[in-house]
């Protein structure tokens, strides 16, 4: 399946405006990230909001390196053989959240198909280090699909993030063109399984980029599919072409249309929807907080896992099946 490059709309409309840095906050975020030798998706994916987010002292950390094993047609992150994992990276991310005084952190990673666990343990260690350094923080993870290995997903869930985010990125028909190796149905089941593994005690979130040639009915269908898989938080943003080698922009969706999609999504049953031309998965992520009872039960599970309050109701995960134990071993 190929997209016709002549469909590309070269000229960006007026509503796609990137704000340049105008406050010292941007530079202090930049120097902190440089100082701790961290990688951010803000830079690697050429996010149009980085001037704004960094200026406000937030950023999205990208762990497990800056080289991805997949080559998605929309993504600016480079594809190459990744480097070895850095064992002190979880601590450096934790230190950044402490120094930045974050109340909400988004942690993502490149797809590490070269690793048997897809980088799941590295996610787990990072979540644990962040929680240790900053016990009050809301931890959101934006994860790859771990090649649908349940035992790898279970490792991440064992660390009990508060928000589990995995992007659908596009509608079903365009998935083979837009995403490398990922599958639409698999992404949906990853979202559902993640929630089931913690007995529903988590918020699940997903995002779709618009402007790649998807139809209105296909967007609504994707919303329905996400809801059918218990996803309650949705982000909708405009696809922007990072380089000439990436997929063309077929359409610039108007801000009014984004507002209409937001209204539709809320009416369908999503709990929180961020929708707009420059919305990205982590844009203003702190605007959404899971329900208090979800937060409390996650904290109870974390305490129980540390041995402070042992009780069967606090078991963080369903008992692993023998096959799963074997796989982990």
What does the binding site for ligand SF4 look like in residue numbers (CB under 6 A)?
Answer: 41-42, 47, 49-50, 53, 58-60, 280, 282-283
Q: Would you say 18 or 325 has its CB closer to ligand SF4?
A: 18
- Report in angstroms how near the CB of residue 168 gets to ligand SF4 at its nearest: 17
149 neighbors 118 (Cβ within 8 angstroms): yes
Q: What long-range pairs does 251-258 form, CB within 8 A, spacing at least 24? A: 251/9, 251/210, 251/211, 251/213, 252/9, 252/12, 252/13, 252/15, 252/16, 252/211, 252/277, 253/210, 253/211, 253/277, 254/13, 254/15, 255/15, 258/210
Q: Would you say 134 or 297 has its CB closer to ligand SF4?
A: 134
- Report in angstroms how near the CB of residue 146 gets to ligand SF4 at its nearest: 21
- Report in angstroms how near the CB of residue 38 gets to ligand SF4 at its nearest: 12
Q: Would you say 58 or 167 has its CB closer to ligand SF4?
A: 58
- Report in angstroms how near the CB of residue 276 gets to ligand SF4 at its nearest: 11
- Report in angstroms how near the CB of residue 269 gets to ligand SF4 at its nearest: 25
- Report in angstroms how near the CB of residue 61 gets to ligand SF4 at its nearest: 9
Handedness of CA 278, 283, 284, 287 (dihedral sign): positive
Q: Would you say 59 or 247 has its CB closer to ligand SF4?
A: 59
Q: Would you say 50 or 195 has its CB closer to ligand SF4?
A: 50
CA distances to 17, 105, 141, 205 from 276, in Å = 12, 21, 22, 16
Strand partners, 233: 205, 272
Output the CA angle 265-111-130, nearest 5 degrees.
80
Q: What long-range pairs does 130-136 form, CB within 8 A, spacing at least 24? A: 130/90, 130/93, 130/94, 130/97, 130/105, 131/159, 131/302, 132/94, 133/94, 133/95, 133/97, 133/98, 134/94, 134/97, 134/98, 134/102, 134/105, 136/103
38 neighbors 92 (Cβ within 8 angstroms): yes
- Report in angstroms how near the CB of residue 57 gets to ligand SF4 at its nearest: 11
Q: Would you say 41 or 154 has its CB closer to ligand SF4?
A: 41
Phi/psi for 126 (5° steps) reads -70, -45
Q: Would you say 89 or 140 has its CB closer to ligand SF4?
A: 140
Q: Would you say 58 or 134 has its CB closer to ligand SF4?
A: 58
Closest CA to 175 of 138, 222, 135: 222
- Report in angstroms how near the CB of residue 53 gets to ligand SF4 at its nearest: 3
């Amino acid at each position: 399946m190929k997209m016709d490059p002549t469909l590309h709309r070269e000229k960006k409309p007026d509503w796609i405006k990137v704000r340049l840095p105008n406050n010292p906050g941007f530079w202090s975020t930049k120097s902190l990230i440089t100082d701790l030798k961290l990688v951010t998706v803000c830079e690697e994916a050429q996010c149009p909001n980085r001037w704004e987010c960094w200026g406000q002292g937030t950023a999205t950390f990208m762990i497990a390196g800056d080289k991805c094993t997949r080559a998605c047609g929309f993504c600016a992150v480079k594809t190459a053989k990744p480097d070895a994992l850095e064992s002190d990276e979880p601590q450096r991310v934790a230190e950044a959240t402490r120094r930045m005084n974050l109340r909400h952190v988004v942690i993502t990673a490149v797809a590490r198909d070269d690793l048997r666990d897809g980088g799941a343990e590295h996610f787990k260690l990072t979540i644990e280090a962040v929680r240790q350094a900053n016990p009050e923080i809301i931890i959101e993870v934006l994860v790859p699909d771990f090649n649908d290995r349940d035992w790898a997903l279970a490792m991440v869930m064992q660390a009990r993030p508060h928000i589990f985010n995995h992007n659908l990125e596009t509608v079903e028909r365009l998935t083979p063109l837009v995403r490398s190796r990922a599958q639409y149905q698999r992404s949906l089941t990853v979202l559902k399984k993640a929630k089931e593994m913690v007995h529903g005690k988590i918020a699940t979130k997903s995002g779709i980029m618009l402007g790649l040639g998807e139809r209105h009915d296909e967007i609504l269908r994707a919303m329905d599919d996400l809801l059918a898989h218990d996803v309650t938080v949705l982000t909708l943003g405009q696809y922007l072409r990072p380089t000439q080698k990436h997929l063309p922009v077929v359409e610039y969706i108007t801000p009014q249309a984004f507002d209409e999609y937001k209204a539709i999504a809320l009416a369908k049953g999503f709990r929180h929807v961020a929708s707009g031309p420059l919305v990205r998965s982590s844009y203003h992520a702190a605007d959404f907080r899971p329900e208090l009872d979800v937060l409390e039960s996650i904290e109870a599970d974390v305490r129980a896992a540390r041995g402070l309050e042992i009780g069967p109701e606090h078991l963080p995960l369903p008992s692993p099946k023998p096959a799963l134990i074997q796989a982990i071993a």
